[in-house]
Amino acid sequence: MPKYVPEPFKIKVVEPLKMTTRAERERYLREAHYNLFSLRSDFVYIDMLSDSGSGAMSDSQWAGMMKGDESYAGSRGYYRLVDAVRDIFGYRYVQPVHQGRAAEKILYPCLLKEGQYSIANMHFDTTRGHVALCNATPKDMVVPVAKDTENYAPFKGNMDIPALRAFIESVGAEKVGVIIMTITNNTAGGQPVSMQNIRETAQVAREYDIPLVIDAARFAENAYFIKTREPGYADKSIIEITREAFSYATAFTMSAKKDGIVNIGGLIGIKDDEELFTQVQGMTVPYEGFITYGGLAGRDLEALAIGLYEGIELDYLRYRIGQVEYLGELLRQAGVPIQYPVGGHAIFVDAKKMLPHIPYYHFPGQALAIELYLEAGIRGCDVGSFMLDLDPVTGEQPESEMEFTRLCLPRRVYTQAHLDVVAEALINIQERAEQIKGYEIVWQPQVLRHFTAKLRPLE
């Protein structure tokens, strides 16, 4: 049995869950056209669809909600949040927004011109979308080892520095509007980025005079991996590691719904560029609201100012990453193929390896996610070919390099016994994997289809 790191909290409020039968789940799935985003959460037992906004706030955060100051301008929570961000990240300028993609919507038009490129270790979908909305082209340059799911590497989220340099040389530095470092690298399996890689990426950015932006959604989990895996950081605190990592960048965007442990919220941080901050403020007012609330209620600002500190507590992070490692170990011991080592927020099951008889155009990651719901009421999602839209020019189905079923762990929500249920369900499925059938799409929209597409099981 792998070791489970005990919870550094006790439970004060509970939310009952509905138990369903397999026959009921078959019906719910049919009614949802085999799209797990169309399922009512009431019909889900363990919800691992996302770790975003799905965490449990602490008693201090709920107390903060009550203290929230709802003044239209200059609320107390705003100043408290600005102080927290300055303290944790060492940045001078802070703009709250309602969530991560709002930060992207505001910042990227300030940095990217039409026809330019943005280069990232990997762009998250919404980041990719906002780059495209600037009529710019996103390029992913993650290290090749990210795609080798079964072999250990400590920092599979890293930027491929030689590829980054070669690309900038080939198109010319003036064609690259921004370099983005996503920590942790969600799309590669929540994989961390090393301090050395952040430093070297920043060096390239400086050489070519290109701004470096951190996508900071899971900054604390990344800092924990640096502390536990990178030589020279074992004795540094999470806040020290965070300050060093962010000192190398120009700005960050953050979905605070992850490591900020709030149900809604986001941030833009700018190290010292006053002109860029003025531009950001100018965009915030029409899109999000007045600069001291940025699309949030005063109580949300309070909860976030508290959550940012709770998210960098070492005991919490040890338990948090420990949960993912525990589930990962249960699966590996039973021979279920997963992205290894596990990342910070989710288990990525390698559906291509588990269901080799299902071709990419019948969506192995989606087939496994559906089977897991049928088996035990567990909801995950496809991160593979089903997530990719059809090629807008040829109308063809692109093939994803990796076919994952992603199982996210909401923060401070599920217990060891819940994780045992998940492992048992996956192990049961593994035993009859060859009987599982693929799916075909019967209706889809043009963009971001995986949220609303309708599917049908193959006979």
* Per CB under 6 A, 215 contacts ligand F0G: yes
Cβ(129)–Cβ(138) under 8 Å? no
CA distance 335 to 126: 33
The pair of structure tokens assigned to 120 is 């990232």
* Per CB under 6 A, 266 contacts ligand F0G: yes
Q: Is 272 considered catalytic here?
A: no
**Shorter beta-carbon distance to ligand F0G: residue 4 or 246:** 246
Q: Is 130 considered catalytic here?
A: no
Q: Is 217 considered catalytic here?
A: yes
Give residue 345's identity as a one-letter amino acid code. H
**Shorter beta-carbon distance to ligand F0G: residue 52 or 292:** 52
Region class of 405: left (phi > 0), else alpha (psi between -120 and 50), else beta: beta
DSSP 102-120: HHHHHHHHHH--TT-EEEE
Q: Is 67 considered catalytic here?
A: no
The pair of structure tokens assigned to 336 is 């279920």
Q: What are phi and psi of 376, to 5 degrees?
A: -150, 15
Q: In the window 295-334, what residues touch ligand F0G (CB under 6 A)?
A: none
**Shorter beta-carbon distance to ligand F0G: residue 4 or 89:** 89
Q: Cβ neighbours of residue 166 under 8 Å, at least 6 residues apart?
A: none
Per-position x/- string for 88-117, each x denoting binding to ligand F0G as judged by CB under 6 A, each - no binding: -----------xxx----------------
Radius of gyration from C-alpha coordinates of the chain: 21
Q: Is 124 considered catalytic here?
A: yes
Least distance to ligand F0G from the beta carbon of 345, Å? 8
Per-position x/- string for 155-194, each x denoting binding to ligand F0G as judged by CB under 6 A, each - no binding: ---------------------------x---x--------
Maximum distance among all Cα pairs of the chain, rounded to whole angstroms: 61
> What is the DSSP-derived secondary structure letter of residue 451?
G
Question: Among residues 294, 392, 391, which one has the least CA distance to residue 78?
Answer: 294
**Shorter beta-carbon distance to ligand F0G: residue 82 or 103:** 103
**Interface segment toward ligand F0G; rule CB under 6 A; list 120-128, 200-208, 221-229, 267-275:** 120-128
Q: Is 450 considered catalytic here?
A: yes
* Per CB under 6 A, 267 contacts ligand F0G: no
Residues that bind ligand F0G (CB under 6 A): 50, 52, 99-101, 124, 126-127, 182, 186, 215, 217, 255, 257, 266
The residues that are catalytic are 72, 124-125, 215, 217, 258, 450
